[in-house]
Structure 1
Amino acid sequence: MKKLIASAIIAFVAIAAVQVQAQTTTKEVKKELKSEKKAAHKQLQKLEGNKVSSRSKDQFNSDFDGVSDISWQRGAQFDEATFTKDGAKMTAYYDYDSKLVGTTTNKKFADLPASAQKDIKNRYKGYTTGAVVMYDDNEGNETDMLYYGTQFDDADHFFVTVSKGGKETILMVSMGGEVSIFKEV
C-alpha cells in the first residue's frame, strides 16, 4: 500500500513538473514568435526615380473606391496619394512593393481619447495645440511607417503637435489614450 501511495505521489509530481515546463515553453514560444514578427518587419527601401508607380496607382484604385480629388507624389520611401473620402482629406502611403502601408487623416483634439486629452492638458499647460493626425495602419503589411523623418512600429496612433516658445513637440497617442513624446522639433 505504501508503494502504491509513493508511486502516486511521484506520478503527481512528475505530471506537475511537465505542466510547469509546458507553460514555460509556451511563454518562450510566444516571446520568440513576437521577436520573429518584429524582425520580419520590412526595412524601408528608398524608391527609385521620381515618378509614382503605376502599380501603386492600380493598388490604390483597388483599395479606395469612390474617392475624389486624388493627387499623387513620390516621396523618398512611399508613393503618396492625397484624396477626399467621405468629406475627409486623407493620404495613403504605398511602399516599395506598391502595397498600402497606412493612411493619415487630419483630426481634431476632441477626437483623441478622453484620457489623452486630460493628460495632454495637464502635462502641457501653456502649450498651444496644433495639428492632430490619425495614422491608420494596414495590418496586412509589415512595413513600418515614417513620420517627421522617424520610423515607428506599425500600429494605429494619433500624432499631436504642441508648441511653446518656438519649440514644437510631437506627441504619439495610442488608441487606448497613452501619451508619449514621439519627437521634439
Structure 2
Amino acid sequence: MQVQAQETDKKAVKNEIKEAKKEVKKEKQVLKAEKKELRKLEKGDVSYQSKQEFYSDFGDVKDAQWKRSDYFDEVTFTKDGQSMKAYYDSQSKLVGTTSHKKFEDLPISAQKEIKSKYKNYIIKSVMLFDDNEANDSDMLLYGAQFEDSDNYFVELIKGDSGIVLQVTPEGNVFYFTKL
C-alpha cells in the first residue's frame, strides 16, 4: 500500500512539473508576441504627430532640425546649452534622446576598465542614450538594436578601425559593435 502511494505521489509530481513547464512555455510565447519589433517607417516627410509630441516633450525649441530615418523620426536640437537628438517611433512616441558627454562623465569603474583593456585605442566620442521609460520600443544605434535603457556609448579608434563599447550607469562595460 505504501509503495503504491509513493508511486501515485511521484506521478502527481511529474504531472505538476509537466503542467508548470507548459505554463512557462505559454508565458514565453505571450512575452515574445508582446515584444515590439522595430517597425520601418514609410519613406516621406517627418510625421506631424512626432513634431507635436516633440514640442509637448521639450517646449518651443527654435533650432529643431528634423529628418526621417528608416525606423525613427529624428530631431536634432539644443536644450539648456546641450546639443541633443530625440528619436520618435512609428507611433510618434519618444523612444529616447542622445547627447554628447565627456569620458570623465562615465562611472569611475568604467573609465578604469576602458583605460586598462583598451589602452591602445583613442577615445573618439562618448554619447549618452537617455531612455524614455514610458515607451518600451527598443532603440537602434550604430546599426544595432538594443533593449531600451539608459547607457553610454564610447567610440574607440585604433588605426583604421573602430569599435563601440556600451557602458551601463553602474559602470559595466560591454562590446557593442564595430564601427
Instruction: Report TM bin, short chain.
Output: 0.7 to 0.9
The correspondence of residues 69-108 of structure 1 with structure 2, limited to 5 A, is 69-108=63-102
Structure 1 residues 36 and 172, CA, compared in 2 at 3 Å: closer, same or farther?
A: farther
Distance 1:106-1:36 versus aligned 2 partners, 3 A rule:
farther
Counterpart CA distance in 2 for 1:33 and 1:87 is 46
Identity of aligned residues (%): 52
In the TM superposition, what is the alpha-carbon distance from 1:106 to its structure 2 partner? Answer: 0.6
Q: Distance in 2 between matches of 1:151 and 1:60?
A: 23
Match of residue 46, structure 1, among 35, 40, 51: 40
Q: How many residues align?
A: 159
Instruction: Give how far 1:67 is off.
Output: 3.1
* Aligned position for 2:120: 126
Asked if 2 retains the 8 angstrom alpha-carbon contact of 1:43 and 1:144, the reply is yes
Whether the aligned pair in 2 keeps the contact of 1:134 and 1:157 (CA below 8 Å) is yes
Deviations 1:118-147 (A, max 9, x none): 000000012100110100111111110000
RMSD (Å) for aligned C-alpha atoms: 2.2
* SS of structure 2 residue aligned to 1:62: helix
Aligned position for 2:151: 157
> Taking structure 1 as reference, are residues 33 and 123 closer, same or farther at Cα in structure 2, changes over 3 Å only?
farther
> 1:74 is matched by which residue type in structure 2?
R
Partners of 2:61 and 2:27 in 1: CA distance: 38
In structure 1, the residue matched to 2:165 is: 171
Aligned letter for 1:72? W
Which one-letter code corresponds to 1:171 in the other structure? L
Unpaired runs of at least 5, structure 2: 1-19
Q: Cα offset for 1:49?
A: 2.3
5+ unaligned residues in a row in structure 1: which ranges? Answer: 1-24
Cα distance change of structure 1 residues 101 and 34 upon mapping to structure 2, 3 Å threshold: farther
**Shift of residue 172, structure 1, vs aligned partner:** 0.2
1:61 aligns with 2:59: no
Distance in 1 of aligned mates of 2:140 and 2:82: 22
Distance in 2, Cα, partners of 1:181 & 1:151: 13
Establish whether residue 146 from structure 1 lines up as the match of residue 140 from structure 2. Answer: yes
Question: What do the CA deviations read for 1:77-103 (whole angstroms, capped 9, x no partner)?
Answer: 000011101100000000001000010
1:113 aligns with 2:107: yes
